[in-house]
Structure 1
Amino acid sequence: MFILEACVFAVIFIGFFGIIFKQNVIMKILAMDVMSTGAIAYYIVVAARGGIFAPIQGEIVGRAYADPVPQAVILTGIVIGFSIQALMLVGVMKLARNNPTLEAKEIERSNTPWM
């Protein structure tokens, strides 16, 4: 279990450092998606326990049932992450119309007013 958690944290850190160090805006969006996927995977790793059953019809006495609320939270997080990524890609499309490059430093340099 420790190795799986370490791999998930590695994915989160790869996404985090991708956001910081990549200069291309598309690569920053992809790194943000990788970090979001790592966070969801960590939630799944923590929630995965043996001996817990899905709450389906029929009552069995003496069994531990999984709480369905965290599943709904994860599904909501996935949908919100997808919509945010789509919105960011639309913003990149608008940036691409006005700028010949998608490098963050060049976009900042061309859109900064001179004082």
Structure 2
Amino acid sequence: MLEAFIFATILCGFFGIILKKNLVMKIISMDVMSTGVIAYYVLVASKEGYFTPIVGKVENPAYADPVPQAVILTAIVIGFSIQAVMLVGVMKLARDNPTLETNEIEKNNTP
């Protein structure tokens, strides 16, 4: 059931990127889609009964692998930086165009 909600989130973001005409809405849709992908990765990587890899007094523990956690943190940071760069690009476009609709921007910039 949780996988279905995660796939629905990914599909909502994907269709938002394709169907929305406003550039800010496209950026938000991309963020929703990346959040769904990260949630799916966390769902696949999570296993019940594993301990965090911290030195303790537990005998023969089953430690969780810290590499997927590092990959997810890196993906979150990279996604945030890409989103910030895209928003700066949209701000630059907004200076020259009265609207952020893709159709109008293409009409105004076509020679």
Please give the TM-score of this superposition, normalised by the length of structure 1: 0.92
Q: Is 1:75 aligned to residue 95 of structure 2?
A: no
After the TM superposition, which segments of 4 or more aligned residues of structure 1 sit over 3 Å from their partners?
Answer: none
Measured in 2, the distance between the counterparts of 1:74 and 1:31 equals: 19
1:41-60 → structure 2 map (5 Å cutoff): 41-58=39-56, 60=58
Q: Quote the offset at 1:108 in angstroms.
A: 1.2
Equivalent in 1, 7, 11 of residue 13 of structure 1: 11
Per-residue deviation, 1:59: 5.6
CA RMSD of aligned residues (A): 1.0
Using the TM superposition, give the Cα deviation of residue 48 of structure 1 relative to its aligned residue in structure 2, in angstroms: 1.5
Question: In percent, how many aligned pairs have the same letter?
Answer: 70
Distance in 1 separating the partners of 2:56 and 2:49: 17
3-state DSSP of counterpart to 1:32 = helix
Q: Can you give the 5+ residue segments of structure 1 that lack an aligned partner in the other structure?
A: none
Q: Which residue is 1:38 aligned to? A: 36
Match of 2:89 in 1: 91
- Aligned residue pairs total 111
The amino acid that maps onto 2:66 is: P
Assess, with a 3 A threshold, how the Cα gap between structure 1 residues 12 and 46 changes in structure 2: closer, same or farther.
same
Q: Name the residue aligned to 1:62.
A: 60
Query: How far apart, CA to CA, are the structure 2 residues paired with 1:75 and 1:59?
Result: 28
Question: What amino acid does structure 2 have at the position aligned with 1:88?
Answer: M
Question: Structure 2 stretches of 5 or more lacking a match?
Answer: none
TM-score when normalising by structure 2: 0.96
Shift of 1:52: 0.8
Q: Structure 1 residues 21 and 33 mapped into 2: Cα distance closer, same or farther (>3 Å)?
A: same
